[in-house]
Structures are given as structure tokens and as C-alpha cells.
Amino acid sequence: MPDYDPFVSDEDEDEGEKTTGKEDNKSFQELRKAYNRISKEKKDSDKELEELRTFRTTVVEEKKEAAAKAVFVELGLNPQHAKLFKALNPGLEAELVSAETVAEFAKEYGLLTPDSELEEDDEKTASRGFTPAPTGSPVQTGQFTLEDINKMLKAGDYEAVNKAYKSGRVQKQDRPWKT
């Protein structure tokens, strides 16, 4: 007796033969092509997304730093302290950087404001008392007198004499006999 399967009909066998072979291979090839194309598109999209995330991060950081510097300048503080502020408050959004926040920061870290400098200066002036200012002209260093020029001329150093006159390092003496 031949192998007979009671659960398989003759019609099922015909359909099985039609779908096997070249058509199955063709379908799998098309699926592979579609998968490879989608994979490539995904890689390109992921690369672009990473570039955009990096760009967004830099823009947000620059915006935060610019906002902090503007507030520091507005309050009369050194804008270089904005870097310290940004480093100590990394999660702070640019919109949340306000005069109050920066003022608290300046007070906490002892950064001087123009008002506090004036108060300190007033206190120092009051405790110091009067200090006279020096008067008269200071002695200029590197000046040549007429005697120095004569010595250089006797030594034959004409270049040094010319250089001294051109640079204005020769002390010109007043003539007491002229009125």
C-alpha cells in the first residue's frame, strides 16, 4: 500500500508545488533587499540624529553661557565668573538664569559687585585717614645728561648718541641765563 496521508488532499499537493521553488527564493530575495535598504536608512537616520543631538547640546550650552554672561554684566560682575556659575550649575536652564539667581551666587561665593566695592572703599578711606599725594615730577630713569653724552662722544660711540637723541632719552637742561 502506498503512503497515503488521509489529511492531505490532492488539491493541497497542487498548491504546495506551485509555491515552492523559484517563487519562494524570489520572495526571500525581495525581503532581504527591503531589510538591507531599511537597515541602511536606519543607520543614516541614527547618524543624522546623533549629529543633531550634538548640535543641540552645543547650542543650548552657548545659549546658557550667553544668558549667564549677560546677567553678570547687567549686575556689574566680571563675565568670566559666568564660567564658574555654569560649571557649578550644569542642570540650570538658560531661561532660569536670572538676576536673583546670579546675585545669590555672587553673595555665596563672595564675588564683588560695584556696590559692595564702594562700601568697602568707603570703609577703608574712613579708617586710613588722609594720605598726601606726592608732588613734583618723578626722576626719569634711563635719561642721559649732557655729561653722559660728552663721554659717549669722546669714546666715539656716535650711534648710541644718535639713538639716545632719537628716542628722547637725552635730558635737556634749562639755560638759567635766558628769561
Q: Tell me which residue of 70, 78, 67, 66 sits closest to 110, measured CA to CA.
A: 78
80 half-sphere exposure, CB direction, 13 A CA radius:
2
In a domain, 132, yes or no: no
Residue 3 lies inside a defined structural domain of this protein: no
State the total domains in the chain.
2
99 and 40 within one domain: yes
Is residue 110 domain-shared with residue 71, that is, in the same domain?
Answer: yes
pLDDT in tens, 125-155: 556 666 767 665 554 556 777 788 888 889 9
d(CA 27, CA 9): 26
Residues 158 and 75 in one domain: no
Average pLDDT rounded to a whole number, residues 106-135: 62
- Give dist(CA 173, CA 71) in Å, integer: 56
Q: Give the lowest-confidence range in 63-67, 75-79, 139-143.
A: 139-143
Cα–Cα dist 75/98, whole Å? 10
Range of the domain at 147: 142-173
The reply to whether 146 falls in a domain is: yes
For residue 6, tell me if it sits in a domain.
no
In a domain, 1, yes or no: no
Short-list 55, 163, 72, 168, CA closest to 111? 72
26 has pLDDT over 80 = yes
Q: Is 69 exposed, middle or buried (0-12, 13-18, 19+ CB in 10 A)?
A: buried
Q: Are residues 158 and 100 in the same domain?
A: no
